[in-house]
Structure 1
Amino acid sequence: MRESYRHWQRIPTRWADNDVYGHVNNVVHYAFMDTVINTWLIASGLDIHEGAEIGLCVESHCNYRASVSFPDALDAGLRIGHLGRSSVRYEVGFFREGDDDVVAEGHFVHVFVDRTTRKPAEIPAHLRTAMEGLVVT
């Protein structure tokens, strides 16, 4: 399963991520997905402060396979399952550090829009080129 992801980022859990049941709360996984996606986008040239286009999340989902707890570190694998004209579906798999079993997997769909009008806009060419390297079929 790890081999199907194209980009990796290690994400440490924090003490505050655990809930009263002693595991990382489900909403934290969404924040982790948002972090790995946006870290990759910024590194790939998305100007989050002044760029003409921005990506808005229009859909997100997560399946939980096993619980994790602080102080676990997670390896977040990122790939792209669909790349459209103005939209992209990122897929993220979370694995315990050094483990091959997925503990959670989810997706985010971004629609790129004009920063001012909020109308759909083409994914900028330099980002599309970077995204093509993450596409899996």
Structure 2
Amino acid sequence: MSRPTPPARAEFGYWHRLSLRWSDNDVYGHVNNAIYYQWFDSAVNSFLVGKGLLDVMAGDPIALVVSTGCDYFAPLEYPGEVEIGLAVADLGRSSVRYRIAAFAPGADEAAAAGHFTHVAVSRAERRPVPWPDAWRAVFETLA
């Protein structure tokens, strides 16, 4: 099995910056792997809310996570900040697969990189629906 290589900063079009918290570190002195998934979720939803697409309280459709994964290349640790880069890898009828990476501020290569897949579903039935045109147009800006 070949080891993936860290993506470069230039591969991402949207950025979300977070401050690391004391509780993000684990007993080994670096950010725990589960925290990266929280960052990914925050970055994607910040993007969607910021673009006026996702109304978490009343919007329809909503986006549910169906798949995530992450590869780790270098440790990050408290105190400090992290920059989460976001790009769209694949856009389907009712799904979108994001490429996401965590960077130390100013670093050219990612400390971790992963994927995150959302499926558009109706709020009431929780069944897949096509992405509205407005959502598709915004996703295409990151493709």
Check whether TM > 0.5: yes
Structure 2 residue aligned with 1:107, among 102, 110, 115?
115
CA distance in 1, matches of 2:72, 2:80: 16
CA distance in 1, matches of 2:130, 2:51: 16
CA distance in 1, matches of 2:96, 2:31: 27
Q: Deviations over 1:69-105 (max 9, x none)?
A: 1012111110000001100001111110011121000
The percent identity for this pair of structures is: 42
The DSSP-based 3-state class of the residue aligned with 2:48 is: helix
The DSSP-based 3-state class of the residue aligned with 1:68 is: coil
Structure 1 residue aligned with 2:29, among 22, 31, 36?
22
TM-score, scaled relative to structure 1: 0.95
1:65 has 2:73 as partner: yes
Where does the alignment leave 5 or more consecutive residues of structure 2 unmatched?
1-7
CA distance in 1, matches of 2:109, 2:78: 18
Match of 2:19 in 1: 12
TM-score, scaled relative to structure 2: 0.92
Where does the alignment leave 5 or more consecutive residues of structure 1 unmatched?
none
CA distance in 2, matches of 1:71, 1:128: 37
The DSSP-based 3-state class of the residue aligned with 1:134 is: coil
CA distance in 2, matches of 1:108, 1:100: 22
CA distance in 2, matches of 1:55, 1:9: 19
CA distance in 2, matches of 1:90, 1:13: 23
Structure 2 contact 9–107 (Cα < 8 Å) conserved: no
The DSSP-based 3-state class of the residue aligned with 1:100 is: coil
Match of 2:131 in 1: 123
1:54 has 2:51 as partner: no
The DSSP-based 3-state class of the residue aligned with 1:130 is: helix
**Structure 1 residue ranges, 4+ long, deviating more than 2 angstroms after superposition:** none
CA distance in 1, matches of 2:72, 2:81: 16
